[in-house]
Structure formats: structure tokens, C-alpha cells
Amino acid sequence: MTLSRVATVVADPGSVDAAIASRFSCRAFLRDRPVPRATIEDILALASRAPSGTNTQPWKVYVLQGAARDALVEKACAAHDAMYADPALAQEYREEYDYYPTRWVSPYIDRRRENGWGLYGLLGIAKGEKDRMHAQHQRNFRFFDAPVGLMFTMDRVLGRGSLMDYGMFLENVMLAARARGLHTCPQAAWNGFAKIILPHVGAGEDEMLLCGMSLGYADLDAHVNTFDTPREPAASFTRWVE
């Protein structure tokens, strides 16, 4: 470790706090406002400072722009539409690891429902409007119109601890993006389409898809971007042991 890193003083903690507090899952981007490659490279280089057990650095990133992005969107949307028409096809598109629990319990199921119905309520999608729900869910597979799509993988040989390491890397990506005026949306929705995504990006057979992410400039006029997810107060999840 360099002396400069040890001695570094964060002179503007308010900006760090603002980057954290202003991060949210952006669901509408400006498609026609590109993100320079150099900016993406800077974000990923900074994010790589995330800690990882014994410095294993398990992250692998695939950046999709232009024609490669658009081609993946078409493939994923076609598969999503096919599954909607024939739910039995869902068996062909299964995520490789359990992102969500197999059995939901409170308070987690309550927060999940609040989040889902809160978003649909904001968009005026009523319970039972399956076509509109499907269309909104498919926005994931259009990267919410973001010009940049990111796919994150890691080698299957690694253990569950690497998933924790990876989470810190992903958060660094999102905060570094905020520092540069960009927004993101981390997306586990892509995980079921690994059999489409991994060959498309040229990933190796030993790689596992962890999630996707949309990256770009937020559409400030989009109503969906006013959706605010609540957080529990720190006192509710903290126990002081003295």
C-alpha cells in the first residue's frame, strides 16, 4: 500500500455521502446520450479497488454498446415474449444460483410486495393487468434504454464468499458512476437468460452470470424515476454490544 493511500484525507465527505444517497435503480435513461469509453474504463478501474478475500478479485465485466447491445436486447426480448406466450418455456431459462429465497417470510416478503406494487402503482398498472406488467418487466431487457449494458460474471470454481466480494465491487461501480453524473440499474432480471447472454458476450464455459446493469444518463423527465424505495432506520437493524 502506498503512503499516499494511507494518508489520504477525504476532504469532501458530503460528496461521498451524496453519491451513496442519490444512487437508485434508474428505470429510464437517455438512449441518445452515449457514455465515453474512457469514462467507463475509469469507473471500472476505480471499482476494482473493492476488497476481496485474499485479493482474489473475482469480477469479470462485459461492456455492451451499439450493435452488440442492440442484438442482445432483441434476443432477450424475443425469449421473454416466448415465455409469456408459453410459460412452460421458463424451464429453459433458469438462473444458475438462487438470488431470491425459495421460501419468502416476513419482513422480506412485505418489503418485496411494497416495492413491486409501489412501482406499478406509480405507473398506473393495476393488479391483473398482465400485458402491461409484462411490458414493464421487459424494460429490463431493453436496459431501460441505457446506451451501455454491463454483464458481470465470475468463475464457477469460486465459493460463496466471492459473491460478497462481488457485491462490494458492484456498489463501487454504481458510486463511481454517480460521481461522474451517471446513473445505473443493477438487474438480477437478466440471470435467467444466461444461456443467451454468455455466448453473446464470449464468456467462457466456466463462467457464471451474476447480474446485468444498465448505465447511462438518467431521463430527468421520466415519471418512473421519481419512484423512491424506503429504507429501514439504522436503529431497526443495529444492536449495540458493549
In a domain, 14, yes or no: no
CATH code, domain carrying 101: 3.40.109.10
In a domain, 75, yes or no: yes
In a domain, 1, yes or no: no
In a domain, 113, yes or no: yes
In a domain, 3, yes or no: no
Bridging pattern class, strands 183-187 and 207-216: antiparallel
C-alpha cell at 226: 421519481
pTM of the full structure: 0.95
Range of the domain at 30: 23-227
In a domain, 33, yes or no: yes
| β-sheet bridge partners, residue 223 | none
Residue range 10-59, pLDDT digits in tens: 999 999 999 999 999 999 999 999 999 999 999 999 999 999 999 999 99
**Phi-psi group of 181: left, alpha or beta (phi > 0 → left; psi -120 to 50 → alpha; rest → beta):** left
Residue range 75-116, pLDDT digits in tens: 999 999 999 999 999 999 999 999 999 999 999 999 999 999
Contact criterion met (CB below 8 Å) for 43 and 184: no
In a domain, 49, yes or no: yes
If one counts the domains in the chain, the total is 1
